[in-house]
Amino acid sequence: MSTGMRVGAGSLAALFAGMLCIPLVLGAGKPNQGGWDDACGSTVIEIAADTQTIPPATPGGQVTVPLNPQGRQTTPSWNSSQQRWAGIITHVARSRGLPPRAAVIGVATAMQESTLENIDFGDRDSLGLFQQRPSQGWGTPAQVTDAVYASNSFYKGLEKIENWQTKPLAKVAQAVQRSGFPDAYAKWEQSSGELVVKSWGNAVLTTTSGCDPARTAVGKSTGAWALPVENSRITTPYKAGGGFWSSGSHTGIDFPVPTGTRIQAVGTGTVVKAGWGGAYGNEVVIKMSDGTYTQYAHLSSMTVTQGQAVTARRQIGVSGATGNVTGPHLHFETRTGPAYGSDISPVDYLRSRGLSL
């Protein structure tokens, strides 16, 4: 049975919470005469003059909420009120037909801007969950403190950003918000994903935090640059924390491939090392034509030698489990220099060269 609720200016949505789809009525919003006959049915939300349908979660229709946390993550405990605001932001994304990634960005932005509180104060004339400023064209004070209106405004800005789904969360949020602290959004990604998956319905996280490993799909590469391994995925991301690494965090990214998988150079360059690398096991390090360095570690064997020139997709070895590992995989690093400690984000590196991860 279908359940409807009308949302006008200055009011808030009644939304579903968690996997049980428990209805929550917030603010001045009231359900239609039909009531909540079927809490997990299709929900129609009318926002201004637009009517959009949120499809119910159905068996076999599970979606993934992809995360790619960058740097140290902040994971506080959110109270019921804060979780409800996150639910509104999430369901507005879904009502617009956006994928879960949009909701993750939206909720993380509100975490940074207002700690998920619909506040009536802020820097200068900033107001609401997203601290949007009426003087900058975001809307009237009443509109920017309406969670549905504010969320729609945020997503309208997000949709204008080219390739927003594949860009780092902080870069997308900053492009919409223009904050004085552009990198601060990144630390909320894990926590945001956890709240989004509760509100979306029939969803599961793909992240390295907690129990679920990240499964960032990696396809087949073309052009002047290539992925180090084809048709795999990323598990442990760059800068993941933990005592397993001597630096206190992961200096590369891992591809969980079985022993014997073909490993290839990501671009044109010269091999500066091909041999034993201690904790890295058998490793190949290449000085790329643009002056950066790439490292391929834990190989079972190598098919190149020091001083050898390589091009993109040239096989340089096969994967293995040598060195300090818990199982077979490829550890891939990008660096500004040949030595340990000069690492830079491999995901940003590859994406800036036109590759999809």
- pLDDT higher than threshold 70 for residue 3: no
Which pLDDT score is estimated for 130?
Answer: 97
Give me the percent of the chain exceeding a pLDDT of 90: 50
pLDDT over 80 at 17, yes or no: no
pLDDT (mean) for 134-163: 95
What does the pLDDT look like over 197-221, one tens digit per residue?
A: 888 877 777 643 332 333 344 445 5
How much is the pLDDT for 357?
A: 73
Give 196's contacts (C-beta < 8 A, 6+ positions apart): 65, 86, 90, 100, 103, 104, 107, 203
3-state secondary structure the chain: CCEEEEECCCCCCCEEECCCCEEECCCCCEECCCCCCCCCCCEEEEECCEEEEECCCCCCCCEEEECCCCCCCCCCCCCHHHHHHHHHHHHHHHHCCCCHHHHHHHHHHHHHHHCCCCCCCCCCCCECCCCECHHHCCCCHHHHCCHHHHHHHHHHHHHCCCCHHHCCHHHHHHHHHCCCCCCHHHHHHHHHHHHHHHHHCCEEEECCCCCCCCCEECCCCCCCCCCCCCCCEECCCCCCECCCCCCCECCCEEECCCCCCEEECCCCEEEEEEEECHHHCEEEEEEECCCCEEEEEEEEEECCCCCCEECCCCEEEEEECCCCCCCCEEEEEEECCCCCCCEECHHHHHHCCCCCC
What is the pLDDT at residue 4?
A: 30
- The residues that bridge with 230 in the sheet, in sequence order, are none
Count other Cβ atoms within 10 Å, centred on residue 143: 19
Mean predicted confidence (pLDDT) in 189-194: 91
Give me the architecture of the 216-351 domain, per CATH: Distorted Sandwich (2.70)
What amino acid occupies position 281?
G
pLDDT of residue 233: 82
Per-residue pLDDT, 146: 96
The confidence score (pLDDT) of residue 1 equals 31
Strands 315-319 and 50-54: unpaired
* Long-range Cβ pairs for the range 267-270 (8 Å, 24+): 267/224, 267/225, 267/226, 267/294, 267/311, 267/312, 267/353, 268/224, 268/309, 268/310, 268/311, 268/312, 269/294, 269/309, 269/310, 270/307, 270/308, 270/309, 270/310
User: Which residue ranges make up each domain of the chain?
Assistant: 55-206, 216-351
Q: Which CATH architecture has domain 55-206?
A: Orthogonal Bundle (1.10)
Residue with tokens 């050898």: 308
Q: Can you tell me the mean pLDDT for 247-257?
A: 85
pLDDT of residue 206: 66
The amino acid present at 326, given as its one-letter code, is T
Average pLDDT, the chain: 78
Most trustworthy range by pLDDT among 67-71, 193-197, 293-297: 293-297
pTM of the model: 0.46
